[in-house]
A and B are shown apart, each in its own frame.
Chain A
Amino acid sequence: MVDFEVVDISHVDVDAPEVGDGAPDFTRPLVNDEYWQDTALSELYNEGPVLLVFHPMDGAFPATYVWNEIRDRGWEGREASYGDLQVIGVSVSSPYEHKTLIQERGIDSRLFSDPGAEVAEAYGIDWELDGMTGVREPLPAVFLVEEGTVRYAWVAEEWPDFPNYDEIEAAIDDL
């Protein structure tokens, strides 16, 4: 990541769960390649660990980059401490946009739709976008959730910023 301006976002008030904290539960439409259905995060982590990936709205290049990398690393469905790992995206985009992203990027994971950014707020990572009045979204962030407890946490500190995929992979391997 060079050749473009990286902006300091230390002014954003972040209050995200840390390793060992409980992951705030929530219900939102969960989108797969065929349909969407209201689903609670707890329903997911009761079945297996969840890698919760907050990213900018679908169509922004970071969303594309992040999903390309995750898809190529083959994390979805990896055998874990209990059940299989579920990679779950979250953005403010609508279910229709999530379906398009899933199709265009060949994503085999599911995404929550959080248009009001209340989930981002519950995770203490919501921020107002400059130049898009009234639009709030999550800072890029990744939480690995095992039985409701955060096992790995990362929140962007500049803009744009990308997860450390090797670090996440190590956390997945440690489950």
Chain B
Amino acid sequence: MSRSEAAITLYRLQACPYCERVVRVLQDNDVPYESRFVEPMHSDRNVVRRISGKRTVPAIVDENTGVTMSESANIVEYVEAEYGDQETDTGVEA
């Protein structure tokens, strides 16, 4: 995914289950995103604090809507509301 194509930037930690949850919901809804990987040490995550006010990941920045958000449950809810596919939501699987 090229830098210029995706509106959503996902700040993530390698192998973090909460991050993978966000990845899954983005992929399930065909939402383009680009990944920025940060370090396990909280003290090394100033970039995340600058954008979201907290050092926790996952965090997303959505340039389409101007939304910045942390906490995977919040993000999943947001992505489904903003980009969710109606048919998938009603359980009609392809």
| A residues whose Cβ falls under 8 Å from a Cβ of B | 29, 34-40, 43, 95-96, 99
Contact = CB atoms under 8 A, between A and B. Distances in A.
B2 A35 contact: no
A35 B1 contact: no
B3 A43 contact: yes
A29 B38 contact: no
Contact of A35 (B3, B4, B37): B37
B47 interface: yes
Contacts of A35: 11, 36-38, 47
Nearest to B34: A37
A152 to B, nearest CB: 26
Given A35-B11, A40-B2, A43-B2, A95 B37 contact: yes
Q: Chain B: interface residue count, which band?
A: 10 to 19
Interface of B: 1-4, 11, 34-39, 44, 46-47
Given A35-B11, A99-B44, 16 more contacts: A29-B37, A34-B38, A34-B46, A35-B36, A35-B38, A35-B47, A36-B37, A37-B36, A37-B37, A38-B1, A38-B34, A38-B35, A39-B3, A40-B2, A43-B2, A43-B4
A34 B37 CA distance: 9
Nearest to A30: B3
A39 B4 CA distance: 10
Contacts of A38: 1, 34-35
6 contacts: A29-B37, A34-B47, A35-B36, A35-B37, A95-B37, A99-B44
Nearest to A27: B2
B16 to A, nearest CB: 14
Contact of B35 (A34, A37, A96): A37
B26 to A, nearest CB: 15
